[in-house]
Amino acid sequence: MTVVTYEGTQFPVADGETVLDALLRAGQVVPYGCRAGVCHSCMMSADDPAPVRQAQVGLSDTQKALNYFLSCQCQPASPLEVKLVNAAGAKQVVEVLEKTALSESVYRLRLAPGLSYRPGQYVNLSRDAKLSRSYSLASLPSDPWLEFHIRHYPDGAFSSWVVNDLQAGDTLELQGPLGHCIYAAEANQPLLLLGTGTGLAPLWGIAREALAQGHSAPITLVISGRSLEDCYYRDQLLALAAAHDNVSVTWVLQDGEAADHVEVADIYQYCKERFPELNGYKIYLCGAKTFVNKLRKQCFFAGAAVRDISTDVFLQAGSL
Amino acid sequence: MSVYEKIGGDGAVEAAVDIFYRKVLMDDRISDFFDTVDMDRQRAKQKAFLTMAFGGPNNYTGKDMREGHKHLNLTEEHFNAVAENLIATLQELSVPQEYIDEIVGICLSVKDDVLNK
């Protein structure tokens, strides 16, 4: 017999009993369905991968990398701590190190490090109990800061507070990490990274993480935008492509003139023509909801496996 | 031995699920039922369905089948469309006809529950 810690409380697990059954027996509310390891309704994440490895059959590489497991299939032999996969965890107070304008409407916020995360995940940032928004991490754990790209919506309460009031040295609250849009691919699997707007933030983290882990296959970055002025981090992306033979970057614009690395086209049409066959690709789609949902289906129809398409959808506050 | 074991268990379902899902999403008769934003979740549902259809491990009852489908107002045409896409998937994977027949038999055994007859 052992114990499982869930939401701060320890629950006994009898020999041969599953984590799901132990929690249900104790009256905890955990979603579940088939109890046969198939439907994934009871998926949780663990603090330590070892005790849950046998309960990861059928999960994707991304899910395994995040220590996800099926609680109906897990009979732990040693104590472990678990949580539901969409639980954000405790809040922490972090200091602002730097705030820089990257374009007319996008600001870079760098916060003091001290969070354990995978590049591409996101966190909730809060001004106070009433005002909180989700932002994707653009940094790597090895960077001496946590980096976020914040689009300023003039009517947006949080982004206006960041742009107008927040200064280096101030603090805000951070909760996370969350999300599963992370680098989890074979080194020889081609990567296609498609983003719009501040969807570049997670892609910037994922691309650099792939390189840090020795990714050898092509890494193709495509950034969609209205005009070139909309697209920030252009020098950084060109420098990344120049430094690595397997990295390429293209901006696909609605308005403007074609040039080196710049195309003027409808992004959906561009992807259809440029990437007609995506079988075997690992794909990352980050940005506005329509953009992500349309391209996800398009990529799936072009032969990419569901599990090889990771997404990070940006929702504007109030759009839920 | 169940068809599920004969055709290769979980590995066979993994091979089939994306092919089947792509087919139903492209089938105008039924695509609306499957066209949800959360494709991971939808894929897991398709996998659960295929596992059941192959006679693999599941704890679904006739009552579960009724509860899970009754809000969808499904017709014979919808059921047949799903079955056709399933058969086409299995043929694409060169599953022997006798196993396909067995799988269709399992699907037909839950037909009344799915259509709430």
ipTM of this predicted structure: 0.86
Cβ–Cβ of B18/A305 closer than 8 Å?
yes
Domain residue limits, chain B: 3-114
The pLDDT assigned to A319 comes to 43
| pLDDT per residue as tens digits for the range B18-40 | 999 999 999 999 999 988 878 88
Of all residues in chain A, the one with the smallest CA distance to B12 is A58
The span from the CA of A144 to the CA of A167, in Å, is 18
- CA–CA dist A24, A27 (Å, integer): 5
pLDDT for the residue B61: 80
In chain B, the residue whose alpha carbon lies closest to the alpha carbon of A298 is B22
CB contact under 8 A, A38 and B44: yes
Picking from A34, A296, A307, the nearest residue to B48 by CB comes out as A34
Residue of A32, A38, A59, A293 best to disrupt the B interface, most CBs of B under 10 A: A38
**Ranges of residues in chain A whose predicted pLDDT is under 50:** 319-320
Task: Output the pTM of the full model.
Answer: 0.86
Distance CA A161, CA A170 (A): 12
CA distance B108 to A305: 29
Does the pLDDT at position B74 exceed 90? yes
Average pLDDT of the residues in B88-101 = 95
Nearest-neighbour CA in chain A from B25: distance (Å): 9
Strands (E), chain A: 2-6, 9-13, 43-46, 68-70, 80-84, 91-101, 106-111, 122-128, 131-136, 146-151, 171-178, 191-196, 219-225, 247-253, 262-264, 282-288, 309-314
C-alpha to C-alpha distances, A24 to A12, A140, A180, nearest whole angstrom: 11, 38, 26
Class of domain B3-114: mainly alpha
Q: Which helix (H) or strand (E) holds B11?
A: helix B9-26
- Chain B closest CA to A294's CA: distance in Å? 10
Q: CB pairs below 8 Å between A and B: how many?
A: 48
Cβ-in-10-Å burial (0-12, 13-18, 19+) of A137 comes to buried
pLDDT beyond 90 at B59: no
Q: Does B39 contact A37 at a Cβ distance shorter than 8 Å?
A: no
